[in-house]
Amino acid sequence: MRYLTAGESHGPQLTTIIEGLPSGMPIAEEDINKHLARRQKGYGRGRRMQIEKDTAEITSGVRHGKTLGSPVAINVKNRDWTHWTHVMGIEPIDEKDEEEIKRKITRPRPGHADLNGGIKYGHRDLRNVLERSSARETTVRVAAGAVATKLLQLLGIELVSHVVEIGGIKAKSTEMTDIHAIREKAEESPVRCLDEEAGIQMMAAIDEAKKNGDSLGGVVEVIATGMPSGVGSYVHYDRKLDAKIAGAVLSINAFKGVEFGIGFEAARVPGSKVHDEIIWDEEAGYSRKTNRLGGFEGGMTTGMPIVVRGVMKPIPTLYKPLNSVDIETKESFAASIERSDACAVPAAAVVCEHAVAWELASAIMDQFYADRLDTLIETINEQRKYAREF
Ligand SMILES: Cc1cc2nc3c(=O)[nH]c(=O)nc-3n(C[C@H](O)[C@H](O)[C@H](O)COP(=O)(O)O)c2cc1C
Ligand SMILES: C=C(O[C@@H]1CC(C(=O)O)=C[C@@H](OP(=O)(O)O)[C@H]1O)C(=O)O
């Protein structure tokens, strides 16, 4: 299974095309819209999110609510687009405004893609970089991930995401194990945090950062339950599913680190406190007494919950000016901006959830390839039975 995305942040729309879905899978725009709405929420977002109301339009690959097996195309309109038609060069420019509208962006923001992208593609107007490097693109990554999520749900696999840290404030580790309860609690919190006390402190930290013209990053966690064991492979480096998930997480704008289970803590404790003891019973088959490795051994799923964490750096566009260099004059300047998010960690948790969902669904389709949903369900159930009895 594969997907492409296209679209600029202030262009008319974003698009994704998904290829490789089985036929006969029920999918409705609402299955996507509910996740698009989750991505738009979150304490610390800027004014752009008040303008947008992301909704998906499925324009191909689905008939009478079911996939045909052909590519599925999904569009999400940018509402802000109407304010940018001149700047984006789609509508003719009124002569008196021409100079203002065509004014190039020549001042790269430290930490964003502006300068590197400009040099790489030869864009002396840095708008040509920022339009695509913007995390607006994550809208359609969530749309593709929502389709993957639907497929996973039909196979008995569920995902949830929550925020475990913002600006150095850490949530107490959760004792909740029921994925539906975790989901409900995360949805109730403006920062998607399961620890209410920490959530309040996170919001205060975001307010403080905003007041100071600064921004905050954090850590998000995604949990996936119900994956059959043995998905991915140890036989070749590029078939290791944990590595694919790590790549997908790091490909999200501003994500700089990833860990599974106890993650970096594994470097600090002996093996007896890292490896999970193996047990077996008739009903569940093989499982692990603990899940410190976060659902992976040898690049393959163990059948235990997958626990992935991603680190997001603080947003680069700051109201508090940082020094940079104008590419036209080569003079140093202190950057000033019009609008930006102060913290997008809660939204990024939803993006991360969908990036992981895509990798899981895609790995399942690679391994248990089926043209039809009904045969896919049969094959997966057979695999579960085989692994239980092995
Ligand atoms: C949901 C989300 C919202 C973001 N919002 C902003 C923003 O408002 N302003 C900004 O400068 N960067 C924002 N970013 C981060 C930039 O897109 C990112 O830092 C940039 O693309 C450079 O890529 P890199 O940080 O991965 O190197 C956001 C990221 C995500 C995931
Ligand atoms: C539009 C979204 O996020 C944007 C990501 C982003 C960036 O530089 O990454 C910059 C901001 O866009 P603008 O410059 O238009 O205010 C964010 O609002 C979104 O998440 O849908």
Pocket test for ligand 1, best of 166, 253, 311 (most atoms within 8 A of CB): 253
Name the more confident of 88 and 156. 156
Backbone φ and ψ for 290, nearest 5 degrees, come out as -125, 175
CB 316 near ligand 2, within 6 Å:
no
CB 315 near ligand 1, within 6 Å:
yes
* Burial bucket for residue 91 (CB in 10 Å: 0-12, 13-18, 19+): exposed
CB 112 near ligand 1, within 6 Å:
yes
Predicted pLDDT of residue 299: 98
Domain limits for position 269: 2-389
Predicted pLDDT of residue 321: 81
Residue whose CA is closest, atom 1 of ligand 2?
A: 136
DSSP one-letter code for 232: B
Instruction: State mean pLDDT over 88-109.
Output: 78
Separation between Cα atoms, residue 365 and residue 151, nearest integer Å: 10
Buried b / exposed e over 19-53, threshold 16 CB at 10 Å, is: eebbbbbebebebbbebbebbbebbbbbebbeebe
Among the atoms of ligand 2, which is closest to the Cα of residue 139? 21
Q: How many residues make up the chain in this entry?
A: 390
Instruction: State mean pLDDT over 138-149.
Output: 98
Q: How confident is the model at residue 150 (pLDDT cuts 50, 70, 90)?
A: very high
Predicted pLDDT of residue 96: 63
Determine which of 82-91, 202-211, 298-307 has the lowest per-residue pLDDT on average. 82-91
Reading the block at residue 184, the tokens are 């409900």
Q: How many CA atoms lie within 13 A of 91 on its CB side?
A: 14
Separation between Cα atoms, residue 180 and residue 160, nearest integer Å: 8
Predicted pLDDT of residue 45: 93
Q: How confident is the model at residue 42 (pLDDT cuts 50, 70, 90)?
A: very high
Tell me if residue 296 falls in helix, strand or coil.
Answer: strand
CB 33 near ligand 1, within 6 Å:
no
Q: How far is the CA of 39 from the centre of ligand 1 (A)?
A: 14
Mean residue pLDDT of the chain comes to 95
What CATH number does residue 31 fall under? Answer: 3.60.150.10
CB 109 near ligand 2, within 6 Å:
no
User: Quick one: what percent of the chain has pLDDT higher than 70?
Assistant: 98
Whether 149 has a binding-site annotation, put simply, is: no
Whether 156 has a binding-site annotation, put simply, is: no
DSSP one-letter code for 104: P
Q: What is 44-101 written as a DSSP string? A: T--THHHH----EEEEESEETTEE-SSPEEEEEE-GGGGGTTTTTT-SPPPGGGHHHH
Q: pLDDT at residue 351 above 90?
A: yes
Whether 298 has a binding-site annotation, put simply, is: yes
Whether 225 has a binding-site annotation, put simply, is: no
Instruction: State mean pLDDT over 207-234.
Output: 97
Instruction: State mean pLDDT over 7-11.
Output: 95
Whether 132 has a binding-site annotation, put simply, is: yes
Q: pLDDT at residue 344 above 90?
A: yes
Q: How far is the CA of 344 from the centre of ligand 2 (A)?
A: 10
Q: pLDDT at residue 335 above 80?
A: no
Q: What is 356-374 written as a DSSP string? A: HHHHHHHHHHHHS--SBHH
* Burial bucket for residue 236 (CB in 10 Å: 0-12, 13-18, 19+): exposed
Give the tens place of pLDDT for each residue, 161-218: 999 999 999 999 888 889 999 999 999 999 999 999 999 999 999 999 999 999 999 9
CB 253 near ligand 1, within 6 Å:
yes
By the 8 A CB rule, do 117 and 131 touch?
no
Which one of the ligands is nearest to 355 CA?
A: 1
Predicted pLDDT of residue 152: 98
Q: How confident is the model at residue 87 (pLDDT cuts 50, 70, 90)?
A: confident
Comparing C-alpha atoms, which of 6, 5, 8, 16 is closest to residue 78?
8
Number of domains in the chain: 1
Q: pLDDT at residue 85 above 90?
A: no
Q: pLDDT at residue 64 above 70?
A: yes
